[in-house]
Amino acid sequence: MKKVKTGMGRRSFIKNVSLAGGGLLIGFNWLACKRAAEENGEEVAMQMPDEWFELNGYLKIGDNGIITIYSPNPEIGQNVKTAMPMIVAEELDVDWNNVIVEQAPLNLDVFTRQLAGGSQSIRQGWEPLRMAGATAKQMLLSAAAKEWEVPVTELSVDKGIISHKASDRSIGYGEIAKAATKIEVPDEIELKDNSDFKIIGTSRKNVDAKKIVTGKPLYGLDIYEDDMLIAMIVQPPAFGMEFKSMDAAKAKEMPGIKDIFTIDTYPEDMEREWSDVAAFSKLVVVVGESTWQVMQAKKALNVEWDLNPDLTHQMQILEKSPGMEDTGGLENSDMHTALMSDAGPAKSEVVRKDGDPESAFSNAARVIERSYSCPFLAHNCMEPMNFYANVTDEKAELLGPIQTPEFAEKSVNKRLGFELDKIDVQMTRMGGGFGRRLYGNFLVEAAVISQKMKRPIKLVYTREDDMTNGVYRPAYRVSYRAAIDANNNITAFHVNAGGITESPLFANRFPAGAIDNYLAESWTIDSSISTGAFRAPRSNFIAGAEQSFLDELAEEVGKDPIQFRLDMLKRAKNDPVGEENDYDPARYAGVLELVRDKAGWNNGNSTSSKGVAAYYCHNSYVAQILEMDLKDNEPVIDRVTCAVDCGIVVNPDAAKNMVEGGTIDGIGHALYSELSFKDGGVQQNNFDSYRLIRHREAPKKIDVHFVENGIDPTGLGEPPFPPVQGALANALYKATGKRIYKQPFLPEINAESRELKT
């Protein structure tokens, strides 16, 4: 067993208990949260306890043995609302069938890192969650030992029942819970050995699954209050423009409309949090009784827009750049392409340099050079941005889908001037996030609107608002060069990467550390367009580009693509170059070997075209082999085999679902998705013009295999997304004989087909 310090003395324990208001958390309806159990083939409701006892901020025990476990982190479909309580329940030693799971409210006095992002929820919560369960169990055992006057070491527990074998006595957690609240919090507790896990590592159904499929109100858009009004925004039609004037007379007279006004979400003198990313701060707001009425009033508005003064400086910088003609200073996609093509040589800064790459390139027998690019992408959560706000003179109550509630709370504090203890942010389940809901401008907008109206409101974005408001995945470009000697050895490697408005470069990732002469350069281009994190930030592009280039190199030197990578990883393990390499070569090689064996890479019976890729990000390793055929210039993906090293898998079925979803998502964005700009405006504002993957286009089969190594959990939500794009590109090459260097792939496939026909 592993002993850990609880870090929780009696004083903080009392503080934590008092925070819960005597056992009921404000804002939760217990009757709506009952969990069903099976009895004679029929579902029956759990009998709710008469009294609850809180042993720490993560859990409560009812007098009848029912356990409520709080899931502290926001739920965006990554299944933490099930997995995090499973970890607590494991150390608590309770029957999972007697557990009720609730979304915890924002409470930084009890929980740490209440944030959904970076695939860090389970990784960061692993020990605190285990500690919460183990601490409560120890207090319950101590209470029973005290009551029976026996040593605590003589007691055992199974599924919430404490037993003393010598005296043949037993007692349930519910019966001893009240006494346990009077026990001192132990300074040190023991955590289970991995071999003793009974819940962790077993598949458990999503605790919200039935509510989701039966349409129960779980999401922000489901919120309805009797006194609530609906608010919508009208934003500038282009990045680089802002509000000038409006004629709202006609719209104000329309049925159900309560008011039309302007707001400035982030005044210039306001200190922003990192999550306060918004291109449009000055907005027109329409408030009314129903969504339909507000949408009709938006159409009746006559709003004038003008160039943002900040654009003047940008125009001076860009006025001589290619693609700027006839744009009036507003950006367009042709300009972006031209700027990124020029920026690599002109703006690069060296980030890492090993050996003497210049000499290696000068002395090379041949040099291979390739460039890859991708467009901006919209997040396109199925549930558009929304938030409920009820701001009075005394407090601000906020409820809705947000990945960063603790930062949103600080933003409201700075924008409205309320003390933090007067701001209550609570989280609903989210219909998608992918990084968009890291940025809480819509929450702040809702708070400002409610304060102005002196009424509770629900702010709702239309799909068009959502797609044209940002925040977007940046556009990227990367160029690779490799020097090859007369003996077909790679003697130097050069990566030059950048984008609008960030670079995708990870200078210390593979193949850094595997090549004597290595050079990594980075650059960025400023823009009026707001960008931010997108699922697997930066990795979501550069992984596919890197893996495509490595395949080209393998072919150039006459090696099998997997063996080529394994040979480089062997060098990185046995004789690494540099000391800052941020990956484990053995684990990296492990997923490649596993996927090779599981997919039958060397099996010559398959007639499909195969492509392989592997990548490390968010502390995890994923390798994928994609098998496909090309029919009528459309890729038909037969199978994707995935090997994943993410440490201990808490909930195998849910983890498998995560890998499947990330794989499909990666394929879809690589093949179809693109956001382009003309005169500063987004050209795709709904799903009729912005292409997402469809059901019939998903792989027919996805096989998922996890490495069992007993390592503490690492990331899983994002790592399966990046490498499959490289596997797809490499399979497409096998099918078509043509390399693809630009996303999305499908237009490139069709263009090559037309070229061959002519």
- Confidence tier at 187 by pLDDT (50, 70, 90): very high
Summarize pLDDT for 236-280 with one digit per residue, the tens: 999 999 999 999 999 999 999 999 999 999 999 999 999 999 989
The pLDDT value recorded for residue 148 is 97
Same domain, residue pair 513 and 631: yes
The pLDDT value recorded for residue 558 is 97
pLDDT of 313 strictly over 80: no
CA distance linking residue 137 with residue 173, whole number of Å: 9
CATH of the domain at 268: 3.30.365.10
CA distance linking residue 110 with residue 121, whole number of Å: 16
Mean pLDDT over the full length of the chain: 91
The pLDDT value recorded for residue 751 is 78
- Report if residue 605 sits inside a domain: yes
Strands (E), 248-348: 257-264, 282-288, 302-307
- Report if residue 357 sits inside a domain: no
Summarize pLDDT for 406-429 with one digit per residue, the tens: 999 999 999 999 999 999 999 999
Same domain, residue pair 416 and 481: no
CA distance linking residue 549 with residue 494, whole number of Å: 12
- Report if residue 355 sits inside a domain: no
Same domain, residue pair 162 and 235: no
3-class secondary-structure state, position 514: coil
Average of per-residue pLDDT across 659-680: 98
Residue 525 dihedral angles phi and psi, to the nearest 5°: -130, 130
- Confidence tier at 16 by pLDDT (50, 70, 90): very low
Same domain, residue pair 209 and 181: yes
Pairing relationship of beta strands 349-354 and 302-307 according to DSSP bridges: unpaired
Domain boundary at 156, 190, 213, which? 213
The pLDDT value recorded for residue 10 is 34
Q: What percent of the chain has pLDDT over 90?
A: 87
pLDDT of 538 strictly over 50: yes
Average of per-residue pLDDT across 422-444: 97
Q: Across-strand partners of 459?
A: 231, 387
User: Contact, 52 vs 165, CB < 8 A?
Assistant: no
The pLDDT value recorded for residue 319 is 46
Q: What percent of the chain has pLDDT over 70?
A: 91
Average of per-residue pLDDT across 220-229: 96
Domain boundary at 213, 234, 262, which? 213
- Report if residue 540 sits inside a domain: yes
Separation in Å, CA 75 to CA 13, 391, 589: 27, 25, 32
| Number of independent structural domains in the chain | 3
Same domain, residue pair 597 and 696: yes
Separation in Å, CA 503 to CA 203, 298, 373, 534, 707: 39, 38, 12, 13, 31
CB within 8 A of 306, min separation 6: which ones? Answer: 241, 242, 243, 244
pLDDT of 324 strictly over 50: no
Same domain, residue pair 169 and 226: no
Q: State both tokens at 33.
A: 């949260």
Higher pLDDT, 125 or 28: 125
pLDDT of 311 strictly over 90: no
pLDDT of 55 strictly over 80: yes
Same domain, residue pair 168 and 271: no
Average of per-residue pLDDT across 715-727: 98
User: Contact, 640 vs 703, CB < 8 A?
Assistant: yes
pLDDT of 37 strictly over 70: no
- Confidence tier at 326 by pLDDT (50, 70, 90): very low
Same domain, residue pair 238 and 108: no
- Report if residue 700 sits inside a domain: yes
Least confident of 28-37, 83-92, 496-505: 28-37
Q: What is the pTM for the complete model shown?
A: 0.92
- Confidence tier at 30 by pLDDT (50, 70, 90): very low
Average of per-residue pLDDT across 534-558: 98
pLDDT of 521 strictly over 80: yes
- Confidence tier at 7 by pLDDT (50, 70, 90): low
Same domain, residue pair 750 and 637: yes
- Report if residue 366 sits inside a domain: no
CA neighbor of 172 nearest in space, from 145, 134, 136, 140: 140
pLDDT of 633 strictly over 90: no
The pLDDT value recorded for residue 328 is 57
Least confident of 106-115, 295-304, 500-509, 670-679: 106-115
Average of per-residue pLDDT across 553-574: 98
The pLDDT value recorded for residue 350 is 98
CB within 8 A of 624, min separation 6: which ones? Answer: 595, 612, 613, 614, 640, 641, 642, 643, 663, 720, 723, 724, 727
The pLDDT value recorded for residue 563 is 98
Same domain, residue pair 518 and 429: no
Same domain, residue pair 228 and 299: yes
3-class secondary-structure state, position 634: strand
- Report if residue 353 sits inside a domain: no
- Report if residue 468 sits inside a domain: no
Q: What range does the domain containing 297 cover?
A: 220-309+385-460
- Confidence tier at 329 by pLDDT (50, 70, 90): confident
Summarize pLDDT for 369-414 with one digit per residue, the tens: 999 999 999 999 999 999 999 999 999 999 999 999 999 999 999 9
The pLDDT value recorded for residue 32 is 29
Residue 1 buriedness (CB in 10 A; 0-12 / 13-18 / 19+): exposed
Domain boundary at 409, 434, 460, which? 460
Same domain, residue pair 116 and 227: no
Average of per-residue pLDDT across 597-618: 93
